[in-house]
Amino acid sequence: MTATKLLPGGTVTILCAGDAAPVVFASPEAALTALTGGPAALHTGDVLIRDDGTPTGPAVRRCEQLRALADEGRVLVSARTAAALGDAVELHDLGVHRLPDLTAPERVFQLGGTPEPLRSLDTVPNNLPVQLTGFVGRDAEVRDLRRQLAGTRLVTLAGPGGSGKTRLAAQVAASTEWPGGVWWVELDAVTEVAERVAATLGVPVEPQAGAARSVATELRDRRVLLCLDNCEHVLDGAAEVAVELLRSCPEVAVLTTSREPLGVPGETVWRVPPLAVEDAVALFVERAGAVRPLFTLDASSAAAVRSICTRLDGIPLAVELAAAWLGTLTPHQIDTGLDDRFALLTRGPRGVPARQRTLEGSLAWSHDQLGSGDRVVFRRLAVFAGGFTLDAAGGPAVLPALGRLVDKSLVLAEDGRYRLLETLREYAAARLAEAGETDAVRDRHLDHYLALAEAAEPELDRDKDAWRARIEPERDNLRAALDWGLTREDPDRGRRLAAAVAWLWNLRGRGHEGLAYLKRAVARCPDDRTPLQARLLTGMGLVADTTAPFDLEAARQGLALATELGEAGLRARCLTLTALGHLYTDLDTAWDLAVEAGKEADGFARDSALMLRGIIRTVRDRHAEAAPLLAESAEGLLRRGDRGLASTVLSVQSASALAAADLPRARELAFRAVDVAAPLGDFHRVNTTLCRLALVHCAAGDVDAGFRVLEPFLRLLETAGDVFVPGMAGVLGELHWRRGEFEEALRWFEREAVPGTYMAAQGLPERGAVLRALGRVDEAAEVLATAVELTRRWSLPSLLADALDQQGYLAEPAQAAELHYEALSLRVDHGLRLGVLASLDALTTQLARTGREADAARVWVSTSQARAELGVPRRPAAQAELDALGLATSEPPMGLDDVVAFVRRTRGTRGRPSSGWDSLTPTELEVVKLAAEGCTNPEIGTRLFMSRGTVKTHLAHVYAKLGIGNRTELATLAAARLG
């Protein structure tokens, strides 16, 4: 029935029972007497009464929403009604829940019975925005859209600005069931749709796969509704995400809002209709109540409001803007104010939908009603992208005007920030251009964000978390400021801003964008030789670390310029960045550069240099020397919130602990690394720490836990292809190996090696072991020979010991013993207790092969006890091989150090002649080879991980066995023998 009037009904208790219409009672007790059983809901609030006597208003809708949550037989009670009832009845507190109207959460009680969990919106993962006002009308539209989403997977709500697309989409999203979650992505002022979606869902972006594919991989087998709001200015990006999800995710639906369709296959375009007149009137009255609390409709005002709503064509934004003026105007004045404006606009540009012209008229009229000062503030807000603070808008001086603009619904206030809807921002921008102020206001915008960025810079060395919290929310404004500043005739401010925010691009796959800004900044003054140019080059080197790690040109140029200018701090940073660039390709050069940087640096650069030195020492298994370097570096990095590098240091410390078979510490450090990296949301940082944690789980024998840790990235890898994260391939190879999936393990180990870097040797010993297990002995021997050569060249003791051990399994007994004992010595000398266990297992097999079962049994039982105590079980295949030997002993097990001493004492004869070439051990042959190449004793010691004295001893043995007296004779014999 059409309502002519809406009269106040006072504060009452509303009862919504079953499918019956809402009924009001003077008190909660009276409502209880009318209950005949559930399902039902009770809520107390202020209502309006229509002409036909039915109640309406926000409180009635609240009760209806509560009733929708009541299961069969249950009676739910709102907090306000519960407070009024007191102890008169038995009520069970079910907690705070969000209702489908998305307004403020409600504490819900159950009347009597056995309390059960409530199936509210909170039971489904979601980030749907809290609405400050209720959703009015559109019941039929919500039902229709629910049906559309059930039958199609991409629905676009299309309509002009202000037509209510956003609010309708949110209501539909809250009214549907998606067990995998409902995720809302606001695209207002966004340029990178896929990255915003990834960030909203917490999906790390793998740069090569891209953000859209990363998201699709994460959602592939989840039943999720993704809502993309305000797509009109980023249609290509929204279409990319939608198409990727439609192709890859069979149970994901996408609901978008846009002024125009995305234009992709499979899209259902649902044109948002205007509000029905009665719904528009109800919306006007409800919004009017916010500015005139006692406003209701009498016969006179009802006619004016209906006229307003009809003339505004039922466009929700226009209705709300008109209602906002009831604080100062009557409905009749509002209606009169719109008349002339609409008459003018109907003679405006052709080809534009009538409703859009009407909204333009509403906006123009609202704008004209502002005072001159408010109009100035409004149009100047158009330069902001992605929201702004009060300080950015002008500080306390503009607060009164800003407050009035918020009251008039021209500006949105959200968690201490403000923003304009895109429709309003465009309108404001047009007014700014008309006033001839665009350049001046954009200059002030640039000045503000330059001052903000430069004021925040000191926090980079004090508290990087605080810096990120201050700068990250302004990313869109910083982009806008950079774009403006770098195009000005004098680019100085733009260049300064680019230098100040270089760290902004270091995470989340934004490196290419950051490099583009920094290169533009450098290119504007290519011959500049000032500290600013040095800062820009340093920034390029910093961003290149995560984008192009082998590109050292910017860091080198920055180093040269900083040295020329005497800028010690910049020089230290460039030295560190150059050292970082050499880390994988030249460990000695990286060490020297890091040492040099440490002499001049403080803060971040100093701790970075310490970190690099600690990593290099760890790579070369000098863990005791690495420990203090890493500890000091971690302390400084964590204190300042340098999460990226700190998580790397913690991962390296975990690796050292695992090498020492200290599983509890390795696990603790790995978990801490994950926790430190997680807030960054950066693909490489987070994945590196997760790989470390997965490897710790693997060493503990919990392969399933290792796979669970890496599961999100395994899904991404299926579609991303050749993705490089240091150590990831080796971890996955180890996991598959322990699961007995040898072919899959081999595939991953083959991906571990990175040619041209020290990681060229990584994965090779494991490849050899897996090939041996697969019976591909010749291939295994070839791979292991390469592993020994590369690990000796790069001075990598642990990997060399692994390769020697595997060669021992393929060798004849006499040579095998030499190889296994050399591997054991390397591991003992470098504190590699986890590797020592592997050596003891290899020697167990060797002793059994040579008929020394009793000794083998003593080693086996002792090593098994040590593994149990340390919590590091053997790989299942290795355990099966040892079990098959059938070893047994009544001797008690020895401690780990004792069993090492035991195998060394009982080494026995080597089964080789006492003189001639055949009498040389594998180590002696390596010494001969290096000596013949002209290496000095110290150089041989470095390559073979032994002291100068040990080298001299080996050479003395060689001379004695070959019957020669010096290096010259040795070189001659070696040339004939080895050439």
What is the rounded CA–CA span in Å between residue 602 and residue 557? 21
Q: With contact defined as beta carbons under 8 Å apart, do 810 and 788 qualify?
A: no
Q: Which of 91-95, 175-179, 294-298 has the largest mean confidence?
A: 91-95
Q: Which residue has the higher pLDDT, 101 or 187?
A: 187
Measure the CA–CA gap between 700 and 690, rounded to whole angstroms.
Answer: 15
Give the model's pLDDT for residue 412: 81
Q: Taking the CA atoms of the chain, what radius of gyration do you get in angstroms?
A: 36
Q: Is 409 left (phi over 0), alpha (psi -120 to 50) or beta?
A: left
Q: Tell me the backbone φ, ψ of residue 568, rounded to 5 degrees.
A: -60, -40
Tokens of 548: 């192009």
Q: Are strands 417-419 and 268-271 parallel, antiparallel or unpaired?
A: unpaired
Bridge partners, 225 (sequence order)? 182, 253
**Residue 898 pLDDT grade (very low, low, confident, very high; cuts 50, 70, 90):** very high
Give the C-alpha separation, 658 to 836, whole Å: 12
Query: What average pLDDT does range 153-172 have in this prediction?
Result: 86
pLDDT band for 906, please (50, 70, 90 cuts).
confident
pLDDT in tens, 832-862: 999 999 999 999 999 998 889 999 999 999 9
Average pLDDT score, the chain: 86
pLDDT band of residue 276 (cuts 50, 70, 90) is confident
Identify the three-state secondary structure at position 718: helix
**Using CA atoms, how far apart are residues 622 and 826, in angstroms rounded to an integer?**
11
Judged against a pLDDT cut of 80, whether residue 206 lies above it is answered with no
pTM above 0.85, yes or no: no
Q: How much is the pLDDT for 51?
A: 75
Residue in 965, 860, 716, 922 with CA at minimum distance from that of residue 208: 716
pLDDT at 508: 66
- More reliable by pLDDT, 364 or 731: 731
Structure confidence at residue 342 as a pLDDT band (50, 70, 90):
very low
The answer, yes or no, to whether residue 1 has pLDDT greater than 50, is no
Contacts of 492 by beta carbon, 8 Å cutoff, 6+ apart: 532
Report the pLDDT value the prediction gives residue 354, as an integer from 0 to 100: 41
Secondary element (H or E) of residue 643: helix 643-659
What are the backbone angles phi and psi of residue 419, rounded to the nearest 5°? -160, 160
pLDDT, average across residues 682-691: 86
pLDDT of 299 over the 70 cut: yes
Candidate from 18-27, 343-352, 587-596, 797-806 with smallest mean pLDDT: 343-352
Token pair 């797509």 in the structure block, residue: 231
Average pLDDT over residues 815-843: 92
pLDDT of residue 350: 38
Please, how many CA atoms are within 13 Å of residue 649, restricted to the half-sphere of its CB?
27
CA distance 32 to 35: 5
- What confidence tier does 4 reach under pLDDT thresholds 50, 70, 90? low
> What pLDDT does residue 720 have?
58
AA identity, residue 326: L
47 neighbors 12 (Cβ within 8 angstroms): yes
567: pLDDT strictly greater than 80: yes
Residues 6+ apart with CB under 8 A from 697: 703, 705, 706, 709
Mean pLDDT in residue range 539-565: 80
> What number is the average pLDDT over the span 228-233?
87
For the chain, give the percent of residues with pLDDT over 70: 94
Flag whether pLDDT at 351 surpasses 50. Answer: no
Give burial (CB, 10 Å; 0-12/13-18/19+) of 33: exposed
pLDDT digits (tens, 9 = 90+) for 461-493: 888 889 988 998 899 999 999 999 999 999 999
